[in-house]
Amino acid sequence: MDHFVWNVDPVLISFMGLKVHWYGALFATAIACGFQVMKRIYIKEKLPVESLDNLLMYCVIGIIVGARLAHCIFYDPAYYFSNPLKIFAIWEGGLASHGGGLGAILALYYYRRKMDMPFLFLLDRLAIATAIFGFFVRMANFMNSEILGLPSNVPWAIVFERVDMLPRHPAQLYEAVAYLLIFIGLWAVYKYTEMKQKEGAIFGLFLVLVFSARFAIEFVKVKQAAYAEGMTLSAGQWLSVPFLIVGVVLLVMPYLHKKVKA
């Protein structure tokens, strides 16, 4: 069976020694799209749009620092503990989405203290922007031929020629499509339902959907942490479990609270 062969150069543009990589371009697009989603929400709810510049700065720093530290600690600790200066070599690659999520949450908490706004209220809104952010980041991984799926002969398998000649599950595209659908769903929930009035519910739904998708797709992904090779579950799946539990709690608590009051 012939399979689609993927061999795109990670460099998008190269001009006079200056290189723009697909990953950087799509990461910037992710930030820009997330910012526009938050801007629309702030305008709709008559919130101070000018404060979004600070939120953007805090979140970008939180995402990068959190994602980098999580990668170093959870995916290749032996290497980075032996070479601690390599932790700062972000240009060599290595960002973990779980850590990026935690970094964004901490950044939002810092922003919330300055703005004196409810934390869960902000998390509900940021969750929508984060879903579209995740879509573009996984597309960047696809352009880089990284975060590979397991070898497979399914009709839609892709040969990542920059890595090897084995047809593989396009795991990056699975996640990208999942996050795009989650974004559309969350936006519809925010716009057309009363769930946004229940603080924490949309963020809880986001956590349940995103990390359920992540948990399922990990079964067809190459394990990124060497120490997880002999384990039934991957490092990504183990890291997803706490987020799933928190998501379920946040999703059901507002409804349980309402039932108790009634």
Per residue of the chain (262 residues), what is the pLDDT tens digit? 689 999 999 999 988 788 888 988 998 999 999 999 999 999 999 999 999 999 889 988 998 898 888 888 888 888 888 888 888 877 666 778 778 888 888 989 888 888 888 899 999 999 999 999 999 999 999 999 998 999 999 999 999 999 999 999 999 999 999 999 999 999 999 999 999 999 999 999 999 999 999 999 999 999 877 666 777 888 889 989 999 999 999 998 887 766 545 4
pLDDT at position 211: 95
The sign of the dihedral angle between the CA atoms of 244, 246, 250, 253 is: positive
- Say if residue 194 is exposed, middle or buried (CB neighbours under 10 Å; 0-12, 13-18, 19+): exposed
Query: Which two structure tokens, joined as six digits, stand for 117?
Result: 């706004």
Report whether 146 contacts 160 (CB < 8 A).
no
Residue positions forming the annotated binding site: 138
- Name, in order, each residue with C-beta under 8 angstroms of 245's C-beta and a sequence gap of 6 or more: none
Of 90, 104, 124, 123, give the one whose Cα is nearest residue 57. Answer: 104
